[in-house]
Amino acid sequence: MDENQKQNLFLTFKGVLDSIIEDKKKKPKNLKNINRFEAKINLCLHVHRDEYFWMNLIAKNGNFTLSRGQIDGEHDLNLIVTPEDMLFYSNREYSTLDMVTKRNKYGFKKLRIQAGTSGHNVGLLLKLPKVLVLDKEE
């Protein structure tokens, strides 16, 4: 994957994440979850059999920042997922149960979860879908 492709992938995921967060902020029922969600997450996209693309998500006080690369210091989680699976998860085509039990095209679980350095990972896993997954249409 060349640098141009990596930048396009990053911008795509940044756009998706920003869109989901903005949509959630418009609904009063989500504001509490959005504003209370604090996390430092390394998000790894498994782009080819032996190639990975790292990004990091930092959330605090309702502000979300997606950047390229890994967080070197203290972080809460490492999530490894294919780009396709992450998009299907975000738009509710895949459930959380699908993500943690079924396999992706490379033979790994669709969502691989690794503990971070902070020890605050179990609670974040329960809150993550409330922040990164689109709400059902009403």
Phi then psi for residue 32, to 5 deg, are: -60, -50
Q: What is the pLDDT of residue 118?
A: 73
Q: What is the pLDDT of residue 88?
A: 92
Q: What is the dihedral of CA 64, 18, 110, 3, to 10 degrees?
A: -90
Do residues 64 and 35 touch, judged by C-beta distance below 8 A?
no
Domain boundaries, given as residue ranges, for the chain: 3-132
Per-residue pLDDT of the chain (138 residues; tens, 9 = 90+): 899 999 999 999 999 999 989 988 898 888 888 998 899 999 999 999 999 999 999 999 989 999 999 998 899 889 999 999 998 998 889 998 899 999 999 999 999 988 878 766 767 777 888 888 887 765
Residue labelled with tokens 């920003």:
18
- Which superfamily does 3-132 belong to? SCP2 sterol-binding domain (3.30.1050.10)
Q: What is the pLDDT of residue 138?
A: 58
Q: What is the pLDDT of residue 117?
A: 80
Q: What is the pLDDT of residue 41?
A: 92
Whole-number Å distance between alpha carbons of 129 and 126: 7
Its pTM stands at 0.86
